[in-house]
Amino acid sequence: MHLQGGNSLSHCLGAKTGKFSQEFINLIRVSERSGDLGLALDTISKQLEAQIELRRKVIQSLTYPLITLATSVTLVIVMMLWVVPVFKEVFDNFQAELPAPTLLLIAISQVIEKNFIGLLIISICIITCFLFSWHQLIALQRYCDRLILRLPLLGNLFRLATLGNWCRTLGHLINAGLALPDALRVTAQSSNHWVSHDFSAEIFKHLTRGYPVSEALKKSDPRALFMDTETLLLLHIAAQSGSLAQMLNKRANTLDQQLSSKLHSLSNSLEPLLILLVGFVIGGLVIILYLPIFNLGQIV
């Protein structure tokens, strides 16, 4: 109905709030002006395929570690709420001093048992307040996005994913016929990550002030939080040779490959580490509970 009424495709897609990303709507809007709608749709298709493949690899790599971690946390909670109190009743009949680790474990169990509902409600309230604040406060979103990139191990994974998406989006917009400043503005508007949004906006600002591309890239990320040195050098060379769009797309593919490799390595490393952690925690709790029984002769 909207198309029959004379509206553009980008306008019709934008009217479907929440159905289509702003990035794709902007890309279609640009292609309508340049007459390359087919290229834009093909670009969107390839980008969606890349995002789906990346999401599949992330889920595949992290499913087992997350299940293992959730299982271990559940086992600890079950032991604290039901197993330790049973042992406490048995130990009360010993009428003897218990080892310090056992006393500490019983004390922690009693605190959790008495305040479990309260702790659960407080945790839910804190999470709810944080999520509500995160949706309302842009400053909090910016802080969280920057904090995530500084996390050990996980920070680099998020950086690779965000930078790869930034390179691919900017490369597609330039291929669609936009000048670099306009492509950067659209990339900033389309970004769902504040670090890449601010990075695009800063580059746009420096370019409009007359700085060359390489200098604008350096000034926009002086601490190299977002863009690594290798990507910076490659884009500098590509800008000088007039092949920036091609290099951006190639770099996006390379970053995706690096991300996949690191996810695979992280998954393979986490599996044995989590198994050891679960064994250490559960085994430690069992040993602490059985210490008085090991010393039964002395206690009795």
Q: Give the pLDDT of the chain (300 residues) as one tens digit per residue.
A: 456 566 677 777 777 666 777 777 777 777 777 667 777 777 778 778 877 887 888 788 788 888 888 888 899 889 989 999 988 888 888 777 788 888 999 999 999 888 989 989 999 999 999 999 988 999 999 999 999 999 888 899 999 999 998 998 898 888 877 889 988 988 888 788 899 999 999 999 999 998 988 899 989 988 888 999 899 999 989 988 889 999 999 999 999 899 989 988 888 888 888 888 888 988 999 899 888 887 765 544
Q: Would you state the pLDDT for residue 205?
A: 93
CA distances from 27 to 68, 99, 199 (A): 41, 68, 19
Torsion from C-alpha of 120, 126, 131, 137, nearest 10 degrees: 180
**What b/e sequence results for 62-83 when a residue is b if at least 16 CB atoms lie within 10 Å of its CB, and e otherwise?**
beebeebeeebeeeeeebbeee
The backbone region for 12, taken as left when phi is positive above 0, alpha when psi lies in -120 to 50, beta otherwise, is alpha
Q: In CATH, what class is 154-274? A: mainly alpha
Torsion from C-alpha of 161, 157, 217, 213, nearest 10 degrees: -40
| Calpha distance 293→6 (Å, rounded) | 83
**Domain extents for the chain?**
154-274
First to last CA, the chain: 86
| Calpha distance 299→153 (Å, rounded) | 48
pLDDT one-digit tens code per residue, 208-251: 998 988 899 989 988 888 999 899 999 989 988 889 999 999 99
Q: Would you state the pLDDT for residue 299?
A: 47
CB 210 within 8 A of CB 192: no
Q: Would you state the pLDDT for residue 200?
A: 93
Q: How far is CA 284 from the centre of its chain?
A: 32
